[in-house]
């Protein structure tokens, strides 16, 4: 873990408190890392980087308020964080990437830095701490962005609470003139309900349609009258947090009592994806430039199966099945399942996103979730899960190639422009600064983008 989970700091010198803390983080010794970083806070030159790392350590320890406080204080000094500065480690940067992120927990942003962790990638993150400032004057925000960047990648995950930050990201991107990955507008339209609606209508894909209910509406909802179960979760929940299966009104009432602070809930019909052997299988893939690649597979006797509760370590046979899936997913998945996944790639037009799914008894893919902040890492035990690390390596290579293709397209366009200028010497091009965006008739700076002058 050279630069932390989110890649927010430059590689610290060996032997320093920051370096030792990173080693502890790499070993998941969060308490040890916390002690070292607390000591680093006493040294002014290390204070900001220490707070950035403490924001990650406190999240891992479950101290969410402290994590956000550390992040907020670090970003108050400068909302731009950088990793892999030019010439670092004597390796020239092959690609220079700007990530647009929003302050929050681990689910708030796509952890792209966990993939782009090689020394050839210079990585900067502009944290959108106050969307209103960017929306009012995106050109002033542009001044914070380093020069010489190659591409901008929006890593803000879909969440209704991120709407303004995504609008701000969209406006800022319009001023940068750089190739852009993961259009913020597309991210905004991928709520759990909107994604399900968008993906409905494919014969090879089962898409349970979710509904958003207030606490009062849920308390009056009829549950289990027709013998079917439903899945329930808090409105903003991801990664299975707060997810439960309920079959009757008493179960609903108990759930509401256990989630007294929640105001909105999503109800989804439960689809039984149990395999003939009685086990449940959850598959995870990521889409990179329209192509889906496997991340992992979890197998469990319980319907509530996730990567972290499947206990695959205790089941060699299940690990062998997962390894076969990661090595050749098309040989494992049936044709109907593959057509369902291809449909998802065609309808969800993001450059990078993830999907969790199961397989119905008739072979169709069953959509569990479209995820704009899905983590792909290589922190598994290499002795037991080396095949997972190889899958993560393939995804990392595809992401790098995707970025490099965008850079090459831009370079090719600039070369064509230069050739035209040489071939037409009597044509003079005057470059002037693009004016700031004017408001549309609706008053929305994003509706209609730039209006003509006059």
Task: Tell me the pLDDT tens digit for each residue of 419-447.
Answer: 655 656 665 444 444 444 444 444 444 44
Contact 176, 152 (CB under 8 A): yes
pLDDT digits (tens, 9 = 90+) for 253-262: 998 999 988 8
CATH number of 209-269: 3.30.1490.20
Provide the token pair at 264.
Answer: 């909105």
- Among 353, 395, 400, smallest CA distance to 150 is for 400
DSSP single-letter state for residue 156: B
Provide the token pair at 441.
Answer: 């008739």
Residues 6+ apart with CB under 8 A from 401: none
Q: How far is CA 290 from the centre of its chain?
A: 16
- Enumerate residue ranges in the chain where pLDDT < 50: 1-3, 86-87, 428-454
CA angle (373, 378, 383) in 5-degree steps: 145
Q: Which pLDDT score is estimated for 388?
A: 92
Measured CA to CA, the distance from residue 288 to residue 404 in angstroms comes to 13
Rounded to the nearest 10°, the torsion over CA 52, 55, 61, 63 is 150
Share of the chain above pLDDT 90, in %: 64
Q: Which pLDDT score is estimated for 292?
A: 97
Q: Which pLDDT score is estimated for 453?
A: 33
Residues 6+ apart with CB under 8 A from 190: 158, 198, 348, 350, 353, 370, 372
Q: DSSP 3-state assignment of 238?
A: coil
**Domain ranges within the chain, ordered by starting residue:** 17-188, 209-269, 280-396
Q: How far is CA 411 from the centre of its chain?
A: 27
Q: DSSP 3-state assignment of 380?
A: coil
How many C-beta atoms surround the C-beta of residue 214 within 10 A? 12
**Sheet bearing 211-214, strands edge to edge:** 211-214, 264-269, 230-234, 244-246
Contact 47, 55 (CB under 8 A): no
Q: pTM for the full model? A: 0.85
CATH number of 280-396: 3.30.470
The dihedral of CA 84, 85, 90, 91: what is its sign?
positive
DSSP single-letter state for residue 435: P
Measured CA to CA, the distance from residue 332 to residue 74 in angstroms comes to 47
How many C-beta atoms surround the C-beta of residue 79 within 10 A? 18
Measured CA to CA, the distance from residue 169 to residue 76 in angstroms comes to 19
The total number of residues written for the chain in this structure = 454
């Amino acid at each position: 873990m050279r630069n932390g989970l989110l890649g927010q700091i430059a590689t610290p010198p060996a032997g320093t408190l920051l370096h030792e803390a990173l080693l502890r983080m790499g070993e998941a010794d969060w308490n040890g890392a916390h002690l070292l970083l607390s000591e680093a806070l006493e040294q002014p030159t290390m204070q900001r980087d220490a707070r950035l790392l403490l924001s990650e350590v406190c999240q891992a320890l479950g101290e969410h308020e402290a994590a956000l406080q550390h992040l907020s204080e670090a970003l108050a000094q400068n909302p731009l964080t950088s990793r892999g500065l030019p010439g670092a480690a004597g390796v020239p940067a092959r690609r220079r990437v700007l990530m647009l992120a929003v302050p929050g927990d681990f689910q708030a942003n796509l952890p792209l830095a966990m993939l782009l962790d090689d020394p050839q990638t210079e990585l900067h993150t502009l944290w959108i701490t106050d969307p209103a400032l960017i929306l009012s004057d995106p050109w002033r925000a542009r001044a914070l962005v380093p020069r010489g960047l190659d591409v901008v990648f929006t890593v803000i995950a879909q969440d209704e609470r991120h709407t303004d930050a995504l609008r701000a990201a969209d406006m800022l991107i319009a001023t940068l003139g750089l190739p852009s990955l993961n259009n913020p507008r597309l991210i905004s339209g991928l709520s759990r309900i909107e994604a399900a609606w968008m993906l409905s209508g494919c014969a090879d894909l089962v898409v349970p349609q979710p509904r958003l209910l207030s606490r009062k509406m849920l308390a009056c909802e009829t549950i289990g009258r027709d013998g079917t179960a439903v899945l329930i979760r808090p409105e903003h929940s991801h990664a299975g947090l707060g997810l439960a299966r309920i079959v009757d009104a008493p179960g609903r009432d108990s759930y509401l009592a256990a989630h007294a602070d929640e105001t909105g809930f999503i109800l989804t019909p439960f689809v039984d994806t149990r395999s003939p052997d009685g086990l449940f299988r959850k598959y995870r893939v990521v889409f990179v430039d329209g192509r889906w690649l496997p991340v992992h597979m979890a197998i469990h006797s319980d319907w509530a199966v996730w990567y972290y509760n499947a206990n695959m370590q205790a089941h060699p046979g299940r690990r062998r099945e997962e390894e076969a899936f990661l090595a050749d997913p098309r040989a494992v998945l049936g044709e109907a399942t593959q057509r369902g996944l291809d449909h998802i790639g065609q309808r969800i037009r993001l450059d990078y996103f993830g999907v969790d799914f199961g397989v119905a008894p008739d072979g169709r893919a069953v959509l569990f979730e479209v995820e704009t902040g899905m983590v792909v890492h290589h922190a598994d035990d290499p002795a037991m899960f080396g095949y997972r690390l190889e899958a993560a390596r393939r995804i990392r290579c595809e992401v790098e190639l995707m970025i490099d293709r965008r850079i090459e397209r831009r370079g090719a366009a600039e070369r064509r422009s230069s050739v035209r200028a040489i071939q037409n010497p009597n044509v003079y091009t005057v470059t002037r600064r693009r004016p700031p965006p004017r408001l549309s008739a609706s008053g929305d700076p994003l509706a209609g983008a730039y209006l003509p002058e006059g």
